[in-house]
Structure 1
Amino acid sequence: MAARASRPQGVDLVIPEHKIQEVLERVDLVSLVSRYVELKKAGREYKGRCPFHQEKTPSFYVIPEKRFYFCHGCRASGDAVAFVQRYLGKTFIDAIRDLAREVGVDLEAAQDPAARERQQLKEATDLAAEHFRALLWEEEGRPARDYLASRGISEETARAFGLGWAPDAWSSLADKLTQAGMVEWGLNAGLVNRRQKGEGYYDFFRGRLIIPIRAPEGRPIAFGARLVGSDEGPKYLNSRESRLYNKSETLFGMDQARDEIRRRKAAVLVEGYFDCIALHQEGVKHTVALCSTALTPGHLKALGRAEARELFLLLDGDQAGLAAVERLAGPLLAAGAAAKVALLPTGDDPDTFIRREGTAGLERLLNEARPLTAHVFSTVLPQGKEASFEEKMAALERLKPVSAQLPVGLVRSAFFAALSAWCGLPAAELESALRSKAPPPPAPQAPRAAPSGRPGPAPGRAPPPGRAPPPGAPAQRPPPAKPPDSLEALYVAVILREPRLIARDTFRVHDELSHSGLRLVLAHATSGHGAEDALFEAPDLVKRAVEAAMRQLASLQGSALEHYFLQVCRSIMLRRIKLQLDYIGRVTAQTAGAMDLSEEAKQLFAQRMELLALKKRVEEETHLPAGTKSPMQPV
């Protein structure tokens, strides 16, 4: 996870999550609060009058061992960052930067140059996507709109996929990037090229319909471009790979298909952008397309994250389609994926088929799809056991590229057992004949030796205190990330759905979120970037937690969502109060009697009474109107 702070030059400062934790650990919260509040020691805590509301009797506590403050009167609470935010009116990012400067955490040095470049690429790509999109709906975009109409693509679908137009001009986008001070970033993103003669830049995409390739969160990361109105140049051009875009991990249309894939637990895979767009327009919304000719483990991982349990290969029924199945079979079988093949009639592609047969025709085709192995075996060796010796040998030769991708183990053994049953040759002989092609299992890494010959520290482990790491030792890794709390993830998910509801958070739960990754997502979303952008850079643990929470909220709208949000706030607050009551209970459990109470014990008992009063207020203020049910109890 990375947080971004605005820079004068337009470049964003990227703050790693573990650095935020380091800042919080280094800050002396008592000293920080004491600058603005007169605090007095009260047992293990410090007490004073709350700076956030007028009060005569002190009810504001700072708990050093937990790096946490809490007011029993107005319910203000949080850590050092939350205090600076609230008292000084700073943003989350600015508060972190100010505190880091004070405690000597160098955030500039913590920046990953690759992350900085990635941010620049994002901003240039965002600008280009909006530039192309706007031009499509202006007068000069008419050729592209006419082409879309000829393919039956509606305006609604074109807008949903963010389609655009790159005019047949040399520097339409280059001029825009130059004005924004991003032309070098556009160069790195492959959006513009440097002129070979003279100064300046020219556009990479010209005279083309632009198809944005988006991350699953919906942000554009690259472009496909279809030539329109000319025969000069290749029919399709695609963005080159960058730190932002890796085609071996990206599936076109995943941002539109993700929810439907999750609902159906299945995905339809096609090979063309317009095949994917056409199927979505006709209601087959769990369709995605490859951005290259190869299917990779990265693509399968992306489908797995979307909870696809079954994959349908929807390919042309011609020779190219048959060859594509063989090409895709290796990685699918190696991954043990449940895949089926739905071949279209010869001469059809998914686009033309669904326009003629409709959704019902396509669903029928998918229902008749055959398992991948059955399709491959019947394609390479139609006669099966009855085939001639020569036909069997030719079939085995065709299967070599497939078997070469199968790792030694159960998947490989099962493949040869199925092949043996089909062609009538012994499985052991088949595997022996092709064994040299099998990729070996990954070898375990041997421990690295220190320069002296003695064993060095384990990779990623810090050297003993006071001892410098040996020369050439690997850099210390950040501590392992912890998964977010499910209640806190629900809170953030509601705000991403309906940012206005943050004003209903009278308890300021956002100051109390314990997971810094969630706080960064929330800070990003509430600064005007939107839900998709807020999740774009989130680590997988945070992203999965928030996406799971969003699915839990899918059926809630309007007042039901608002009531649910209030219950989430209520549950988080009551849980925090319970933790503090439990803490007081443990500390005071050994108190013999009222006459033996220490000053610290008296303070704790007074706190307990305040907490019980606060608990009652929270329960009363978040009580739902009579006859209203909480849609799902968030506990």
Structure 2
Amino acid sequence: MARLPDSFIDDLLARTDIVEVVGTRVPLKRQGKEYAARCPFHDERSASFTVSPTKQFYHCFGCGAHGTAISFLMNYDRLEFLDAVDELARRVGMEVPRDTRQNNEDSGTRDLYAALDAAAQFFRRQLAGSDKARAYVARREIDPAIVERYAIGYAPDGFSGLRDALGTDPRRMQLLERAGLFSKNDKGSVYDKFRDRLMFPIHDRRGRTIAFGGRVIDPEDSPKYLNSPETALFHKGRELYGLWQAKQANAKLERLVVVEGYMDVVALAQYGVSQAVATLGTATTPDHAELLFRNAPDVYFCFDGDRAGRAAAWKALESVLPRMKDGRQALFLFLPEGEDPDTIVRKDGAAGFDMRLREAMPLSEFFFAEMSKDVNLGTLDGKARLAERCKPLLAQIPEGAFGDLMKQRLAELTGLGARAEQPAPRAQVAPGKGVRQSPIRTAIAALLQQPSVALSLALPLRFSTLQQAGVRLLTDMVLLVHSRPDITTGAILEHFSQDEQGKALPRLAMAPLVDATVATPLDERVLDDADKREQTFRDAIARLNIQAMQARREELQARLATLDQAEKDELRALLRATSGLPSQDV
């Protein structure tokens, strides 16, 4: 993907008011110069989520979520990077660079999207003009508004309806074939893949048509559902039918309900359950699980209660288990024989379906029920077997309360490891005996909280020769500010978001500024005094420069016999500059 110019991102973030962006989605309360709220990215009772208008970024001291207005939209609105940039650019009246758009979507890809959109429009026209298709839609009691919302269409009977309408030249034929809309027989003859089927366009996260699902109208035909093949735009293990519509219908998705068929999604939406999605003729994959939880904290899997349904549910459990971070829930609803979401919601309405969801089986209950099916927990051998079965799966759960409780439940069932390990108590620091802050950490924190302090340093940077952790990052940050003097804290964090060492920056940007020479935090007034912040930064840099001079002096002294005249002169200057200083200044 082509990278947006740094200057454009800087300008975009400088013009964007992050408090306004976050405040339209999360209720913020002013606290001094910053704003606070309960974190929208994890469950909490107290407000640990902070938004800084001066630094133009947010940070949660509870779960660690952090970033700029761009990353907030990506995480909260579930937008792709370019979509988040587009959204902010529209708000402030900026235009995303045209060459970036073109580089992110080459002409072949754009043509493929256009071909699929043309096919979707063709199918919709065919539905409007087919008595047979409209009679089927009426028989299934699908409202016109739902037909419109999901862009439902009809593929006419016959082998060349789509081909004759859209495949007007060899290039168009090739595009439609690449889009998965044609099939080819052994003789090489090309014909329409979808024939006499109700057509359900599948949309990507930007609402673009990327594939189709077709359902038979004549019950004698098979297969019942037919999906587009995998293409350059469509990978069925990564997409969910109805997710685009669910996001459009809900300002914030509190839950997603995973069902098996397109008609189930459509029927639920018609009766007011607008959070339903369906996998595309495949079991729930890890990519599906990640996509589900990226869009909603609670995921309900709705399957038949027969053997096949429970097997599908177990596959879903295996995919979600490694993604069960704290604050997420996975639940399983098994339907009575002969019922599906379509029939239930038409019979019981949205309230009846919601009642069933409230009674859904939590993942923990389903997990231990399945794992202990053929185990006799009345014997030591049975308990040992259950423990051995469960441990590899439980080890996949991310660290946190849910994983701890699952292991505790296993301990209750088996008697193994019943006493949970208690974390070692944190070392208590006596008042006035705090740990001294390193000059590197102090300098980075000061620079983050007031980037302009870096402009007081002359280049080249003496301390950059130090072989210490954090020196390379601090050097890069200073050079970044020199190259972009108006850069904000948020833009610095955005720039280093992919840097391994940059992961600690958000906390430093929000932490109380600490003097490099003492153990206690500076007076709160330091945070509001630009001169004192700059002095704290310069003091930390001075200490690093002394360390660099001492290291260079010791290096030259170690090879004194082989020094040339220039190095001898350098050593004399270093000895004068560092006279009276200890050999290691920390």
Alignment partners' CA distance in 1, 2:118 and 2:129 = 17
Check conservation: 1:212, 1:224, Cα contact below 8 A. Answer: yes
How far has the Cα of 1:324 moved from its partner? 1.9
- Percentage of identical aligned residues: 35
Which residue does the alignment assign to 2:160? 171
Check conservation: 1:125, 1:220, Cα contact below 8 A. Answer: yes
In structure 2, relative to structure 1, the CA distance for the partners of 1:410 and 1:118 (3 Å cut) is: farther
How far has the Cα of 1:297 moved from its partner? 3.9
- State the AA in 2 paired with 1:343: F
Which residue does the alignment assign to 1:135? 126
Q: CA RMSD in A?
A: 4.2
How far has the Cα of 1:149 moved from its partner? 3.1
Alignment partners' CA distance in 1, 2:318 and 2:172 = 42
Which residue does the alignment assign to 2:174? 184
Which residue does the alignment assign to 2:330? 339
Deviations 1:133-178 (A, max 9, x none): 1101103xx3333333333322322222111111121111112232
Which residue does the alignment assign to 2:291? 302
Partner residue of 2:310 out of 318, 322, 326: 322
Which residue does the alignment assign to 1:583? none
In structure 2, relative to structure 1, the CA distance for the partners of 1:171 and 1:401 (3 Å cut) is: farther
How far has the Cα of 1:399 moved from its partner? 5.9
Alignment partners' CA distance in 2, 1:414 and 1:323 = 25
Which residue does the alignment assign to 2:365? 374
Alignment partners' CA distance in 1, 2:201 and 2:396 = 32
Check conservation: 2:256, 2:300, Cα contact below 8 A. Answer: yes
Alignment partners' CA distance in 2, 1:389 and 1:144 = 62
How far has the Cα of 1:202 moved from its partner? 1.4
Which residue does the alignment assign to 1:252? 241
In structure 2, relative to structure 1, the CA distance for the partners of 1:163 and 1:260 (3 Å cut) is: closer
Check conservation: 1:330, 1:403, Cα contact below 8 A. Answer: no
- State the AA in 2 paired with 1:366: L
- State the AA in 2 paired with 1:328: A
In structure 2, relative to structure 1, the CA distance for the partners of 1:185 and 1:403 (3 Å cut) is: farther
Which residue does the alignment assign to 2:212? 223
In structure 2, relative to structure 1, the CA distance for the partners of 1:121 and 1:226 (3 Å cut) is: same
How far has the Cα of 1:203 moved from its partner? 0.9
Higher mean displacement: 210-219 or 278-287: 210-219
Check conservation: 2:163, 2:192, Cα contact below 8 A. Answer: yes
Partner residue of 2:137 out of 140, 148, 153: 148
Check conservation: 1:187, 1:194, Cα contact below 8 A. Answer: no
In structure 2, relative to structure 1, the CA distance for the partners of 1:391 and 1:314 (3 Å cut) is: farther
Which residue does the alignment assign to 1:287? 276
Unaligned stretches of 5+ residues in structure 1? 2-14, 25-91, 98-106, 429-457, 463-481, 485-514, 516-635
How far has the Cα of 1:241 moved from its partner? 1.9
Check conservation: 2:227, 2:281, Cα contact below 8 A. Answer: no
How far has the Cα of 1:222 moved from its partner? 0.7
Note if 1:275 corresponds to 2:270.
no
Which residue does the alignment assign to 2:147? 158
How far has the Cα of 1:319 moved from its partner? 2.0
Note if 1:204 corresponds to 2:211.
no
Unaligned stretches of 5+ residues in structure 2? 12-94, 420-471, 477-488, 495-586
- State the AA in 2 paired with 1:228: I
Note if 1:237 corresponds to 2:226.
yes
Check conservation: 2:323, 2:398, Cα contact below 8 A. Answer: no
Alignment partners' CA distance in 2, 1:292 and 1:483 = 43
Secondary structure at the aligned position of 1:251 is classed as coil
Check conservation: 2:236, 2:282, Cα contact below 8 A. Answer: no
- State the AA in 2 paired with 1:239: S
Note if 1:119 corresponds to 2:110.
yes
- State the AA in 2 paired with 1:293: T
Check conservation: 2:283, 2:312, Cα contact below 8 A. Answer: no
How far has the Cα of 1:392 moved from its partner? 5.9
Which residue does the alignment assign to 2:548? none
Counterparts of 1:2-81 in structure 2 under 5 Å? 17-18=4-5
- State the AA in 1 paired with 2:312: A
How far has the Cα of 1:284 moved from its partner? 0.6
Alignment partners' CA distance in 2, 1:249 and 1:218 = 15
Alignment partners' CA distance in 1, 2:336 and 2:387 = 27
How far has the Cα of 1:282 moved from its partner? 0.7
Alignment partners' CA distance in 2, 1:394 and 1:121 = 53
Secondary structure at the aligned position of 2:333 is classed as strand
Which residue does the alignment assign to 1:213? 202
In structure 2, relative to structure 1, the CA distance for the partners of 1:418 and 1:237 (3 Å cut) is: same
Alignment partners' CA distance in 2, 1:197 and 1:18 = 51
In structure 2, relative to structure 1, the CA distance for the partners of 1:144 and 1:332 (3 Å cut) is: same
Alignment partners' CA distance in 1, 2:413 and 2:160 = 59
In structure 2, relative to structure 1, the CA distance for the partners of 1:310 and 1:408 (3 Å cut) is: closer
How far has the Cα of 1:111 moved from its partner? 6.8
Counterparts of 1:488-507 in structure 2 under 5 Å? none
Alignment partners' CA distance in 1, 2:220 and 2:329 = 41
How far has the Cα of 1:345 moved from its partner? 2.2
How far has the Cα of 1:423 moved from its partner? 4.4
Partner residue of 1:193 out of 168, 183, 198: 183
Secondary structure at the aligned position of 2:236 is classed as coil
In structure 2, relative to structure 1, the CA distance for the partners of 1:189 and 1:369 (3 Å cut) is: same
Secondary structure at the aligned position of 1:279 is classed as helix
In structure 2, relative to structure 1, the CA distance for the partners of 1:365 and 1:19 (3 Å cut) is: same
Deviations 1:228-264 (A, max 9, x none): 2263442211112222122232111111111555535
Deviations 1:581-633 (A, max 9, x none): xxxxxxxxxxxxxxxxxxxxxxxxxxxxxxxxxxxxxxxxxxxxxxxxxxxxx
Check conservation: 2:387, 2:414, Cα contact below 8 A. Answer: no
How far has the Cα of 1:299 moved from its partner? 2.7
The aligned length equals 342
Secondary structure at the aligned position of 2:252 is classed as helix
Check conservation: 2:259, 2:302, Cα contact below 8 A. Answer: yes
How far has the Cα of 1:358 moved from its partner? 1.4
Deviations 1:411-452 (A, max 9, x none): 766544333323445589xxxxxxxxxxxxxxxxxxxxxxxx
Secondary structure at the aligned position of 1:263 is classed as coil
Check conservation: 2:247, 2:253, Cα contact below 8 A. Answer: no
How far has the Cα of 1:186 moved from its partner? 1.0
In structure 2, relative to structure 1, the CA distance for the partners of 1:260 and 1:193 (3 Å cut) is: closer
Alignment partners' CA distance in 2, 1:292 and 1:279 = 19
In structure 2, relative to structure 1, the CA distance for the partners of 1:300 and 1:190 (3 Å cut) is: same
Check conservation: 1:385, 1:423, Cα contact below 8 A. Answer: no
Which residue does the alignment assign to 2:456? none
Check conservation: 2:167, 2:173, Cα contact below 8 A. Answer: yes
Check conservation: 1:174, 1:203, Cα contact below 8 A. Answer: yes
Check conservation: 2:376, 2:382, Cα contact below 8 A. Answer: no
Which residue does the alignment assign to 1:363? 354
Check conservation: 2:259, 2:279, Cα contact below 8 A. Answer: yes
